């Protein structure tokens, strides 16, 4: 079953320009990243990778702020303003870090708690899906003073 699903994921990745695919279901976590050259293992290599994916412990994923809806992601509150946050910005709980627009309605994307923005994962003006990571974050260095 896992080999079949892994083969389907690899075939899907080959038909898109995705650089990374993560799949998790019933406690099984499979993730792979395409090399910059676009080389993706095929056939026998995929079958050999399946047992390894089952036995390796799942990698610790970085903390992220995720999209709460489908729409267009904006890093600033208006086109003529700079981004609300940049890499290294320390934000408080509930502070807006971006916005998502759907059907001409804007909804703020807010920080779940005091944290530091490590990396923006989505460019301004790009479409996002529900649950898609928008920012990689880490706990704020001094949470009491944020």
Say if residue 56 is exposed, middle or buried (CB neighbours under 10 Å; 0-12, 13-18, 19+).
Answer: exposed
Over residues 76-107, the pLDDT tens digits come to 888 888 999 999 999 998 999 999 999 989 99
Indicate if 80 and 140 belong to the same structural domain: yes
The whole-angstrom separation of Cα 122 and Cα 132 is: 9
Report the CATH number that the domain containing residue 107 is assigned in CATH. 2.40.50.100
Domain span holding position 93: 63-145
Indicate if 78 and 11 belong to the same structural domain: no
| Total domains in the fold of the chain | 2
Over residues 2-31, the pLDDT tens digits come to 567 667 766 766 676 666 666 666 666 666
Indicate if 139 and 93 belong to the same structural domain: yes
Indicate if 134 and 72 belong to the same structural domain: yes
The whole-angstrom separation of Cα 132 and Cα 124 is: 14
pTM assigned to the model: 0.54
């Amino acid at each position: 079953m896992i080999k079949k699903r892994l083969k389907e994921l690899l075939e899907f990745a080959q038909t898109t320009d995705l650089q990374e695919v993560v799949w998790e279901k019933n406690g099984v976590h499979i993730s792979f990243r395409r090399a910059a050259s676009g080389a993706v293992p095929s056939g026998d290599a995929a079958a050999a990778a399946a047992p390894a994916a089952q036995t390796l412990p799942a990698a610790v994923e970085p903390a992220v702020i995720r999209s709460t809806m489908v729409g267009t992601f904006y890093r600033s509150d208006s086109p003529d303003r700079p981004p609300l946050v940049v890499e290294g910005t320390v934000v408080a709980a509930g502070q807006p870090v971006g916005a998502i627009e759907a059907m001409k309605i804007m909804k703020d994307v807010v920080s779940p708690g005091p944290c530091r923005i490590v990396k923006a994962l989505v460019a301004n003006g790009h479409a996002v899906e529900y649950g898609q990571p928008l920012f990689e974050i880490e706990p704020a260095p001094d949470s009491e003073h944020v």
